[in-house]
Structure 1
Amino acid sequence: MKTSSSMATLWSKISAALPHNEEQFPLQFSDTVELSVVDVLKRSRQQLYGDAACTSRSLGAQIILDLSWEKLNTGTWRHVDKEWRRVYSYGCLFKVAALCRDGPSENEVLQAVRTCDMGLLMGAAVLDNILQDIVGILQDEVRKSSKEEDEPTEVKRPKLERPRVPVIRQEFAIPRVTCPSLESFNTNHLLPLKPVVLEGTIDHWPALNGHRWSIEYLRSVAGCRTVPVELGSRYTDEEWSQTLITVNEFIDRYIMNKVSASSSESCICIHEAQRTGLGYLAQHQLFDQIPELKEDIRLPDYCCLGEEDEDNITVNAWFGPGGTVSPLHQDPQQNFLAQVVGSKYIRLYSPEDTDKLYPHQSQLLHNTSQVEVENPDAERFPEFAKAPYLECVLQPGDVLFIPVQHWHYVRSLELSFSVSYWWS
């Protein structure tokens, strides 16, 4: 049970992260944001530093959130004005303050964590990304509370089935190389765009050593955090969808209680998306939202051979149960796929054989094949069997170089966590 003194300490930590006074709390927007909305924001700022009643603070914050949420969900995400995303972030900040100021309950602290995550996912950084600072403070409080109240119990672990690993014939195997030099990788693989599995290049990652990623570790660093989750075995299926749940909820529903391989699969995966609705959430990065996980990985040295700055390299997270499939598709950048937990079967096709792979005709899925790779319809797609391919099984510590525009099909053989780097 939390004491009032511990809650007072929580608010003192949050208020210390805020600007010292109203004058140091800027609220400047373009003409895109109506003056009436700016007035509500200024009133909420005044209440933040004053003695307004909790209900008044909550009401002001909710008005801001409701107004900006409507703007964020009108049209496609790429056309949402960044100013409205900033308004949404301020609304999240004011809501967190309303929740945490007067002796919050444990449930209110968790609500505040979710509110920060929504701001980080949907909003734009304000006040030097203050929501990231505050969610760190709140998460520390949640961890402390868990340690104080949890009685020692037997740790529940998912049922691990021995994966059926496909046999890779030598003539189809993607070559494997141990720690090639930058010059060797550039000459033999990057310039000629030849796939390769790199061994021994990420053995130093904390995710594979001191902070070895596991269900228990993910719960400890990110369990209460809200993240976008894809539901369905593959994104081309009609029942595929996205939702927002906590990491703990995802693990409990789709990892711990997974009934069978034929049940609906799901995955925490953050990747490029062009969809409307929840699809835009996939453009955000899990590692930016949860820095503790980002500290457990390192940028592959070979990325320095690219044309872009390190800040422009896209880091993607993929976490889900066995059986999760990424249909055969291609990406517009070079890709390093690093396997951290579990194993994956991967098949690659050259862009020269695109015509044999039957891409969808729609603009949305033009980079995705219509063929079910491991169960192709020979009548509908007769040329597919003539397309040569390479394949491999990625194990923890392996990194697969997928050259730009190379078609790739991925199936998790068991509980899996991978990290991919897109670069040019």
Structure 2
Amino acid sequence: MAAAGGAEGAGGGPAPWAEVRALLPCAEEGLTLALSGEVEGCVLPLLRRARALLYSQPGPPDAAAAAALGRLSDVLRDYSWEKLNAVPWREVGKGWRQVYAYGCLFGALAEVAAGRPRAAVRLCDLGLLLGAAVLDNVLARLVHALQLRLPREMAPRDRPHAQRVRPERPPPPPTVQPEEAIPHLHCPSLEHFRDNYLIPERPVVLDGVMDHWPCMKKWSVDYFCQVAGCRTVPVELGARYTDEEWSQQLMTVSDFISQYIMDENSVGYLAQHQLFDQIPELKEDISIPDYCCLGEGEEDDITINAWFGPGGTISPLHQDPQQNFLAQVLGRKYIRLYSPQDSENLYPHESQILHNTSQVDVEDPDLVKFPNFTKAAFQSCILMPGQILFIPVKYWHYVRSLELSFSVSFWWS
């Protein structure tokens, strides 16, 4: 492969062009450019020109062709990016998401040809996060081939300039009084769970259900660095999403761990529902709880979310429109639940965006401003590693990480 930056892949080397090229159709006409939806007429000629450059030479593109392919990728991504952000996400046409994915694909191939596999991995991740699947999800297959060729990331503490690790002893968790404690069950039968908790909408902590999941033995900060350190993911910055300074940013898992897990003065949270599709190695380490089969939807309808962050991060009191199994893998979380019947006493925000979120700071309420909050009864627990909390649909829940924590939630109907 003609590569100027071969040293970047030291330890495995950049993926040979032949290996990457084998993921694409053999002939130019096989790389279809069908788009699911209307896009502007100027876009298809750009896509065809990029495709032609890709197939213009029998081997890898030379420096001039790779540079031209990279420029076309920039134009396609910039133009479709404007369309992705012009309307609310749910209104974005699939065609424009496909254009963005093609732009990321052509850009990633240009980076591979130039010997920059890490840059190619980043573009693949952007396409997986913001684009729509094209060519039988070629971006996922491409990033897998590239990642195998990159050296495993170092654990942050082994780096010469790693940040100081947070204190090992977190502040003591709140005391859970017996009368407010959420009940526990050890591996109940489907029928028992359905009749006593699902149908009557009663929260319960399930013990023993996830003991056999590989994540219980495998997952650690070191493991995440090794498996996903080079992958780009969205990170929430700030202690809670209702804070004015809260924001979101794309960064690699390795940078997130260095800046927000290892640095005791920063608070950030990796919270997203695409992580397990983006990084299948992690998805193989978990299982969908059998109790989800009691729902009305199919398995593909279940949304799996990842929640990874340091102690002190908070999910303000809020409710979700689906049933929720919150599975705790690493660390402990303090959780409070309030019935939907107490919604008026929880003072939801009046704005449409935050209508499912309470204005009350649960652990430090302003009772002058929110006097009826004391009328709302709650249940609580300290969710430990290996436990799953069933949060019924529309139940209000407040979550505070007591230490470094990784949780997996399953939303189902």
Unaligned segments of structure 1, at least 5 residues:
271-283
Q: Of 317, 337, 348, which residue of structure 1 is paired with 2:306? A: 317
Counterpart in the other structure of 1:195: 203
Q: Of 284, 287, 291, which residue of structure 1 is paired with 2:280? A: 291
- 2:180 matched to 1:180? no
Provide closer, same or farther for how the CA distance between residues 155 and 403 of structure 1 changes in structure 2, counting only shifts above 3 A.
farther
Contact 1:268 1:317 in 2 (8 A): yes
Counterpart in the other structure of 2:165: 158
Q: Of 160, 175, 182, which residue of structure 2 is paired with 1:167? A: 175
Shift of 1:312: 0.1
Q: Of 223, 233, 250, which residue of structure 2 is paired with 1:217? A: 223
Shift of 1:241: 0.8
Where in structure 2 are the equivalents of 1:2-401 lying within 5 Å? 10-29=16-35, 32-51=38-57, 53-102=65-114, 104=115, 108-143=116-151, 158-163=165-170, 164-209=172-217, 212-259=218-265, 264-270=266-272, 284-401=273-390
Other structure's SS at 1:362 match = coil
Contact 2:37 2:94 in 1 (8 A): no
- Letter of the 1:173 counterpart: A
Cα distance per residue 1:349-399 (max 9 Å; x no partner): 011111111111111111110000000001011110111110000010010
Provide closer, same or farther for how the CA distance between residues 30 and 202 of structure 1 changes in structure 2, counting only shifts above 3 A.
closer
Other structure's SS at 1:216 match = helix
Q: Percent identity?
A: 57
Over aligned residues, Cα RMSD in angstroms? 2.1
Shift of 1:125: 0.2
- Letter of the 1:345 counterpart: Y
- Letter of the 1:382 counterpart: P
Aligned pairs, how many? 396
Cα distance per residue 1:40-71 (max 9 Å; x no partner): 10011011011362222222222211211111
Counterpart in the other structure of 1:278: none
Cα distance per residue 1:307-338 (max 9 Å; x no partner): 11000001011000000000000111110000
Find the aligned partners of 1:86 and 1:30 in 2 and give their Cα distance. Answer: 8
Find the aligned partners of 2:310 and 2:75 in 1 and give their Cα distance. Answer: 39
Shift of 1:101: 1.7
Shift of 1:160: 4.2
- Letter of the 1:14 counterpart: V
Other structure's SS at 1:332 match = coil
Find the aligned partners of 1:160 and 1:292 in 2 and give their Cα distance. Answer: 30
Cα distance per residue 1:94-122 (max 9 Å; x no partner): 111111124x0xxx211111100000011
Shift of 1:36: 2.0
- Letter of the 1:306 counterpart: G
Contact 1:186 1:305 in 2 (8 A): yes
Provide closer, same or farther for how the CA distance between residues 204 and 7 of structure 1 changes in structure 2, counting only shifts above 3 A.
closer
Other structure's SS at 1:250 match = helix
Provide closer, same or farther for how the CA distance between residues 2 and 256 of structure 1 changes in structure 2, counting only shifts above 3 A.
closer
Find the aligned partners of 1:194 and 1:35 in 2 and give their Cα distance. Answer: 54
